[in-house]
């Protein structure tokens, strides 16, 4: 059985070399940290998408006030529901990473074979 998930013995190098070693070693998952960054990029994309729909609906107001109103309502729903869906999706991925961490803790507590 391999020691997947157990850190290397000895002090870990700091700075860029430490980050580079962590990236290449696969001793530790970096998905949790990357997921937080991805969440904020996705949130910015949702806000940008809602703003594009909002501006488009305001530009359409001179031709069709009813369609502009639907566009305003749509921009609101994109913002609210898109944010909720994106948060839920990212939380599911975080649960998967936490399950991995917990399974590693359970494995470390088991007696050796």
Question: Which pLDDT tens digits describe the chain residue by residue (113 residues)?
Answer: 444 444 455 566 677 777 777 777 776 777 778 898 999 999 999 999 999 999 999 999 889 999 999 999 999 999 999 999 999 999 999 999 889 889 989 999 999 88
Residue for token digits 């157990």? 6
Query: Residues 69-83, buried b or exposed e (16+ Cβ, 10 A)?
Result: eebbeebeebbeebe
Domain boundaries, the chain: 15-109
**Which pLDDT belongs to residue 24?**
77
Whether residue 65 contacts residue 58, with contact meaning beta carbons closer than 8 Å, is answered with: no
Q: In angstroms, rounded to a whole number, what is the distance separating the alpha carbons of residues 20 and 94?
A: 23
Structure tokens of 100? 């991995």
Per-residue confidence (pLDDT) for residue 49, from 0 to 100: 97
Comparing C-alpha atoms, which of 87, 99, 108 is closest to residue 31? Answer: 99
């Amino acid at each position: 059985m391999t020691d997947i998930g157990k850190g290397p013995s000895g002090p870990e190098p700091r700075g860029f070399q430490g980050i580079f070693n962590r990236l290449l070693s696969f001793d530790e998952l970096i998905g949790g940290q990357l997921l937080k960054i991805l969440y904020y990029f996705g949130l910015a994309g949702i806000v940008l998408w809602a703003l594009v729909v909002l501006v488009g609906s305001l530009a359409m107001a001179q031709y069709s006030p009813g369609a502009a109103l639907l566009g305003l309502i749509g921009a609101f729903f994109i913002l609210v529901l898109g944010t909720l869906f994106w948060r839920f999706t990212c939380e599911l991925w975080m649960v998967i990473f936490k399950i991995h961490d917990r399974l590693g803790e359970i494995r470390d507590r088991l007696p050796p074979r």
